[in-house]
């Protein structure tokens, strides 16, 4: 083993656990205790803070340093970092440019086997629906498999489970032309052209169980309007354009500071010392009225009349429910 290879292996071991006895490091690397000590000094000279630990055997611990030294990642960690960097645009901070630079830096130094996987992971990150479902973890290999099919333009066949899985409702076989992976509020979706339905669809990745690829290729389609993020955002809003189909406004008997953290993609402005005008949208008048009701405070409807009617309908429904 060359000195460089030995140092990289030593560094990789130090990153996997907090404390390493010197004798165990020597055993893992098949070198002497003296060589371990010498290699530890080399790493320290390169900027790594490696502390000596006390005990019967004596050992070492990789500590945080004053500067960020070179890091080692395994294959799964590289893919995880790439996904995180591509979805950094929706966390509410100005990270687009530094995230893109970091992704470029990682790509330049990775081996070709990982570069091919990374190049397949083209992800669209959107804000998603306010109050949507909670994030659900999906297998990393499933994301990579879908991304590879998208890159290679290979027809996908998969079983798509129903939302509520029961024994009498089987999964449906779907055949699609995969287009993009979408991340919205921590949930993963596959944007694809559904061949049987002759239309665009968003599939929840957690409900997908891939079958063997057919090997058939397809010409790439363009989404309507040409902007993938706009198109996906519109689909989440139940519209063909990136706007809610129903818009309305109310005056809440709450100060604006109590309203702002919970307005989603709505807008708020002061209407007095303890009152706030909130404008928002939804896919139906009933859902819009219900979304205003979550503030649990007296309110006044500004408009339109459809919103006032929706409040009346909800009031009758809730009264019936309460007395049932």
pLDDT band at 135 (very low <50, low <70, confident <90, very high): low
The CA distances from residue 12 to 39, 101, 200, in Å, are 13, 25, 45
Which class for 298: exposed (0-12), middle (13-18), buried (19 or more C-beta within 10 A)? Answer: exposed
Q: Is the pLDDT of residue 244 over 80?
A: no
Half-sphere exposure of 179 (CA within 13 A, CB side): 25
Which residues make up the CATH 1.10.10.10 domain(s) of the chain? 3-63
Give the chain's mean pLDDT: 81
Tell me the C-alpha distance between 28 and 257, whole Å.
Answer: 58
- CATH 3.30.70 positions along the chain are 246-323
Nearby residues of 240 by Cβ (< 8 Å), 6 or more positions away: 224, 234
Give the residue among 195, 238, 191 at the shortest CA–CA distance from 216. 195
Hey, which of 81-95, 129-143, 188-202 has the most confident mean pLDDT?
188-202
Domain spanning 246-323: which CATH class is it, in words? alpha beta
Domain 3-63 CATH class label: mainly alpha
**What is the C-alpha to C-alpha distance for residues 230 and 102, in angstroms, rounded to an integer?**
25
Model confidence at 306: pLDDT above 70: yes
263-293 pLDDT, tens per residue? 877 889 998 888 999 998 887 899 899 989 9
């Amino acid at each position: 083993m060359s000195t460089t290879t030995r140092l990289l292996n030593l560094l990789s071991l130090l990153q996997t656990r907090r404390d390493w006895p010197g004798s165990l490091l020597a055993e893992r690397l098949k070198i002497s205790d003296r060589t371990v000590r010498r290699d530890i000094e080399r790493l320290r000279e390169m900027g790594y803070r490696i502390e000596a630990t006390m005990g019967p055997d004596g050992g070492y611990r990789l500590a945080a340093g004053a500067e960020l030294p070179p890091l080692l990642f395994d294959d799964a960690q590289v893919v995880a970092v790439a996904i995180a960097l591509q979805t950094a645009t929706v966390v509410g901070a100005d990270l687009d440019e530094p995230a893109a630079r970091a992704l470029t830096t990682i790509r330049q130094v990775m081996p070709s086997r990982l570069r091919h996987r990374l190049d397949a992971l083209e992800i669209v990150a959107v804000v998603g629906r306010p109050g949507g479902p909670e994030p659900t973890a999906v297998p990393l290999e499933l994301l990579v498999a879908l991304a590879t099919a998208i890159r290679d333009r290979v027809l996908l066949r998969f079983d798509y489970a129903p939302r509520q899985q029961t024994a009498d409702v089987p999964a449906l076989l779907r055949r699609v032309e995969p287009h993009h992976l979408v991340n919205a509020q921590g949930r993963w979706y596959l944007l694809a052209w559904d061949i049987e339905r002759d239309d665009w669809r968003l599939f929840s990745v957690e409900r997908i169980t891939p079958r063997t690829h057919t090997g058939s290729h397809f010409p790439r389609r363009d989404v309507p309007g040409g902007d993938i993020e706009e198109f996906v955002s519109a689909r989440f809003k139940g519209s063909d354009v990136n706007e809610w189909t129903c818009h309305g406004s109310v005056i809440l008997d709450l100060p604006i500071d109590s309203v702002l953290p919970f307005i989603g993609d709505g807008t708020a402005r002061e209407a007095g010392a303890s009152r706030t005008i909130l404008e928002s949208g939804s896919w139906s008048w009933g859902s819009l009225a219900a979304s205003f009701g979550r503030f649990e405070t007296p309110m006044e409807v500004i408009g339109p009349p459809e919103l006032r009617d929706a409040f009346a309908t909800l009031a009758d429904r809730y009264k019936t429910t309460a007395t049932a």
